Amino acid sequence: MAVPEKTLFDVERVRADFPILKREIRPGVPLTYLDSTATAQKPRQVIDVMDTFYRRSNANIHRGVHTLAEEATAMYEKGREQVASFINAQSARQVVFTRNTTESINLVAYTWARANLKSGDMIVLTEMEHHSNLIPWQLLAQARGLRLEFVPVTDDYLFDMDAYRELLALEPKLIAFTHMSNVLGTITPAAEIIRLAHEAGALTLLDGAQSVPHLPVDVQSLDVDFLAFSAHKMVGPSGVGVLYGKLPLLEAMPPFLGGGDMIKTVHLRTFSTNEVPYKFEAGTPAIAEAIGFGVAAEYLANIGMDAIAAYEHEMTEYALERLAEIPGVTVFGPSAEHKGGVASFVMDGVHPHDVAQILDHDGIAVRAGHHCAQPLHEKYGITATTRASFYIYNTRADVDKLVEGIYKVKEIFG
């Protein structure tokens, strides 16, 4: 796909915003960061707003009447609004701050699912889920006698729509699925999956940990019931994530953790809950992080999510092309058309840890392991892959360095 002129952005200007990219891993060896699927690097705008918060405005939020408390509350709630606007939520009240995607999914499992599912009810997942969208359901299935079914991944690494239709005929209550596989890079046709689920009377939970940072995600046009994602994968800080939900669902759900801020009135033996979203935000939250999150969302929105997706697509095509040139390297995942900026691969005769270690010597940061998707690796009969992933600050030169590094691995293992 040719990138239209108007969607291009200035990569060098973006790179200049990320202080860590100036770091040398050892003297004379610059950092080549290809691990954004694990966590993205942070631009100075995000670092600065958090720094400023701690230097000027730090206070606990809500209830305080002093100046700092008011500033802190306003900044925290502004973060919520910026994130809500980023995913086109109708109301900022639909954005519940959590610790991360994992906690967001667990929140739904502990509240909505516990209140609404009974023994024998069915939840549909896919074979390519991250452990964070698998274990919460396994735990609940064990506790409540639920049935878990899995949409297979096709031979060309895609979401198996035919198998999905068959599962829908069994009247599942919830479809919880990834929008973009963190290993294969497979982008699932979320709008279609959600439409079919609703027709079959099921609710949907979208794991947007990998998609929200990389693709335009609009909760209203998707009509998704729940969306979970993390700040740290979208140039924001670690420690804060979001559960988006449709308002009537959030309002009907029992609370999650109990404590301060989630209550309206408290007596020794009873309490009443606060309104949404505070009902789900017990205790002092990650205040500076939520503020940083808002700025991160705004940073990405200013570049433009369409431009980001187009740029990463171009990079993915180039990376797949270059990796295909190398004898003995096998990449797992669909063609670039259906794929986000992720290349997970194995090399004949060399363990992924050794690949990653040798690449690190040249300052190239990639990840090796099962990437919290062990069942998927089992499916392909491998224990681990080496994963290179791309984001707004990566360039073709980074891909070239990766390829050079892989040739060096081949030389060492001869």
HSE of 199 in the Cβ direction (CA atoms, 13 Å)? Answer: 11
Site for another protein in 15-44 (CB under 8 A): none
Alpha-helical regions (H) of 87-134? 101-108, 114-116
Site string for another protein, 310-349 (x = CB under 8 A): ---------------------------------------x
- Residue 27 Cβ vs another protein, minimum distance, rounded to whole Å: 15
Residue 185 to residue 333: CA distance in whole angstroms: 6
Q: Which residue of the set 196, 326, 372, 403 is catalytic?
A: 372
- Residue 411 Cβ vs another protein, minimum distance, rounded to whole Å: 11
Contacts of 184 (CB under 8 A, 6+ apart): 128, 153, 157, 332, 333, 334, 339, 342, 344, 376
Residue 122 to residue 170: CA distance in whole angstroms: 8
Q: Which two tokens stand for residue 35?
A: 């691990």
Q: Which is nearer to another protein, 189 or 369 (CB)?
A: 369
Kindly determine how many residues on this chain lie close enough to bind another protein according to the rule CB under 8 A: 19
Q: Which two tokens stand for residue 218?
A: 């609009």
Contacts of 141 (CB under 8 A, 6+ apart): 123, 147, 148
Q: Which is nearer to another protein, 120 or 414 (CB)?
A: 414
Site for another protein in 99-158 (CB under 8 A): none
Q: Which is nearer to another protein, 174 or 384 (CB)?
A: 384
Site for another protein in 345-404 (CB under 8 A): 349-354, 357-358, 361, 368-370, 374, 377, 383-384
Q: Which is nearer to another protein, 254 or 349 (CB)?
A: 349
- Residue 176 Cβ vs another protein, minimum distance, rounded to whole Å: 24
- Residue 370 Cβ vs another protein, minimum distance, rounded to whole Å: 6
Q: What phi and psi, each to the nearest 5 degrees, are found at residue 370? A: -100, 5
Per the CB < 8 A criterion, the answer to whether 170 and 163 are in contact is: no
- Residue 351 Cβ vs another protein, minimum distance, rounded to whole Å: 4
Q: What phi and psi, each to the nearest 5 degrees, are found at residue 405? A: -60, -40
* Angle at which helices 101-108 and 135-144 cross, to 10°: 20
Q: Which is nearer to another protein, 80 or 410 (CB)?
A: 410
Contacts of 208 (CB under 8 A, 6+ apart): 101, 179, 217, 227, 228, 229
Contact residue for another protein among 8, 143, 252, 412 (CB under 8 A)? 412
Residue 342 to residue 183: CA distance in whole angstroms: 7
Alpha-helical regions (H) of 200-304? 219-222, 247-252, 287-303
Q: Which is nearer to another protein, 208 or 405 (CB)?
A: 405
- Residue 383 Cβ vs another protein, minimum distance, rounded to whole Å: 3
Residue 115 to residue 138: CA distance in whole angstroms: 17
- Residue 184 Cβ vs another protein, minimum distance, rounded to whole Å: 18
Q: Which is nearer to another protein, 228 or 350 (CB)?
A: 350
Told to judge if 372 belongs to the known catalytic residues of this protein, a careful annotator would answer: yes
CA distances from 172 to 129, 167, 195, 198, 204 (A): 18, 7, 14, 11, 10
Parallel, antiparallel or unpaired: strands 122-126 and 147-151: parallel
Tell me which residues touch another protein (CB under 8 A): 349-354, 357-358, 361, 368-370, 374, 377, 383-384, 412-414
Q: Catalytic residue positions?
A: 372
